[in-house]
Amino acid sequence: PESSPPTAKATVSQYACQRRTTTENKNQIFTDAFEVLAESYEFNEIEGPCLAFRRAASVLKSLPSEVDCMGATQDLPCLGEHTKAVMEELLQCGHSFEVEKILSDERYQTLKLFTSVFGVGPKTAEKWYRRGLRSFSDILAEPSIHLNRMQESGFLHYGDISRSVSKAEARALGNVIDEVARAITPDAILALTGGFRRGKEFGHDVDFIVTTPEPGREKTLLSNIMDELKEQGILLYSDYQPSTFDISKLPSHRFEAMDHFAKCFLILRLEGSQVEGGLNSAEGDSRGWRAVRVDLVSPPMDRYAFALLGWTGSRQFERDLRRFARLERRMLLDNHALYDKTKKEFLAAATEKDIFAHLGLEYIEPWQRNA
């Protein structure tokens, strides 16, 4: 071309589902700070600023290079005044006064510690904090506190499940579950989802979809799998939630609402001998096994693509997919279905690509969804 005009710098979309975000984060100094601020707002139940900092972090994660001056933020979406003030401080002196203050705050530290236990959410953590409890030994020594079953095993396996799960461990668990599922029904389908599907090296748990093409069979598959895991002596904890899926329901407006597929939240015992390169264990730990958090979800086959898209994440990517669908396309999307409000009809999909196409979005690969 003889006289191509100077190419305009590609604009960054306000929607994470129109950005490509790999696991390589060039702006971690900023995004770590934003995550502390978001979490602090979350602990105080202040939703607006919490989401604003998460959105800002997500935008910076998508950038191909480090932001090295405020000028570079000029054309970026989702960066408000507060966000920019924090960035400016980080650029000037390498740390943020506000973030440092939160990190040294007793309430923040305590809520962070308590919510790191499986089964303890911000509400429970807050309740314990208000009662003057500050450490795990405070909680365990307090006779009036009743731990539920989930929290009991959260404390019991704390050392193991607070340590991250490696990709090799995730793969090993996949092999275990795959074998169990196929022994139950030879046509079982297993897919790794969550952070590992996005190419992350480590995760806090391992997420799988497990189902079968046989209609209706997915409703009992998970309890069959759990029975077998129990039989093998590797089921350390299980919370089974049967399907409440209703095909006639419109997709949910609420993002945080869990989907209605049969699912279970597990803690499994993983043998070191099954993991290539060995366990991601504490130094000097010679038990030869570790406990790992595993989530299984079992959608009917005709909803497989929606479930896969929904469980692959990231959370921010999912939020923005739904927001984009609603605001830009007048469609409702959740883990079960896509509904076109204009045409007043459900849009079927056999693959994730079909869903992106219905939404008029360029396809984003799983490893580009680390928003």
Catalytic residues: 205, 207, 295
Instruction: Name the amino acid, one letter, at 36.
Output: V
How many CB atoms within 10 Å of residue 131?
12
Applying CB under 6 A, among 39, 42, 205, 352 the residue interacting with ligand DCP is 205
- Does 314 bind ligand DCP (CB under 6 A)? Our answer is yes
Please give the order of strands across the beta sheet that includes 289-298: 189-192, 206-211, 289-298, 262-271, 235-241
Spatial distance between the Cα atoms of 60 and 325, rounded to a whole number of angstroms? 22
Q: Applying CB under 6 A, which of residues 119, 272, 300, 313 lies at the interface with ligand DCP?
A: 313
- 290 forms beta bridges with 270
Report d(CA 203, CA 170) in Å as an integer.
9
Rounded CA-CA distance 60/141 in Å is 44
Least Cβ distance, residue 312 to ligand DCP (angstroms): 6
The one-letter code for the residue type at 282 is A
Contacts (Cβ under 8 Å, ≥6 apart) of 278: 272
- In the complex with ligand DCP, which residue's Cβ is closer, 124 or 370? 370
Q: Which does 70 bind (CB under 5 to 8 A by kind): ligand DCP, Mg ion, none?
A: none
Residues 6+ apart with CB under 8 A from 58: 16, 19, 21, 78, 316, 320, 371
Candidates 200, 217, 269, 290; binder of ligand DCP (CB under 6 A) is: 200
203 binds ligand DCP (CB under 6 A): yes
The residue within the footprint of ligand DCP, chosen from 39, 160, 218, 318 (CB under 6 A), is 318
Compute how many residues bind ligand DCP; rule: CB under 6 A: 15
Return the range that interacts with ligand DCP (CB under 6 A); candidates 59-67, 118-126, 199-207, 341-349: 199-207
Q: How many residues bind Mg ion (CB under 5 A)?
A: 5
Quote the least distance from Cβ 371 to ligand DCP, whole Å.
Answer: 10
Which 310-349 positions form the footprint of Mg ion (CB under 5 A)?
Answer: none
Question: In this structure, are residues 204 and 165 in contact, taking their beta carbons and an 8 Å threshold?
Answer: yes
Nearest partner of 239 among 294, 184, 185, 194, judged by Cα: 294
Does 160 bind ligand DCP (CB under 6 A)? Our answer is no
Please identify, using beta-carbon distances, which residue of 67 and 114 lies nearer to ligand DCP.
114
Widest Cα–Cα separation across the chain: 81
Query: From the list 39, 207, 218, 334, which residue makes contact with Mg ion (rule: CB under 5 A)?
Result: 207
**Which CB atom, from 68 or from 256, has the smaller least distance to ligand DCP?**
256
**Which has the closest alpha carbon to 369: 308, 326, 327, 285?**
308
* Long-range contact pairs involving 351-360 (C-beta distance under 8 Å, separation at least 24): 351/305, 352/305, 352/308, 352/309, 354/305, 355/305, 355/306, 355/309, 358/331, 359/17, 359/321, 359/324, 359/325, 359/329, 359/331, 359/333, 360/329
Nearer to ligand DCP by Cβ, of 67 and 206: the residue is: 206
- Asked if 203 is part of the footprint of Mg ion (rule: CB under 5 A), the reply reads yes
Does 299 interact with ligand DCP (rule: CB under 6 A)? no
Stretch that binds ligand DCP, among 84-92, 133-141, 194-202, 280-288 (CB under 6 A): 194-202
Q: Single out the residue of 315, 341, 343, 353 in contact with ligand DCP (rule: CB under 6 A).
A: 315
Kindly identify the residues of this chain, within the stretch 162-201, that bind Mg ion according to CB under 5 A: 194-195
Strand duo 338-340 + 235-241: pairing: unpaired
Residue 119 is a binding residue for Mg ion (CB under 5 A): no
Q: Shortest approach of ligand DCP to residue 206 CB, angstroms?
A: 8
Binding to ligand DCP, residues 216-275 (CB under 6 A): 256, 258
Q: How far is the CB of 139 from ligand DCP (least distance, A)?
A: 24
Closest contact distance (angstroms) between CB of 11 and ligand DCP is: 26
Contacts with ligand DCP by CB under 6 A lie at: 194-195, 200, 203-205, 207, 256, 258, 310-311, 313-315, 318
The site for Mg ion (CB under 5 A) is made up of 194-195, 203, 205, 207
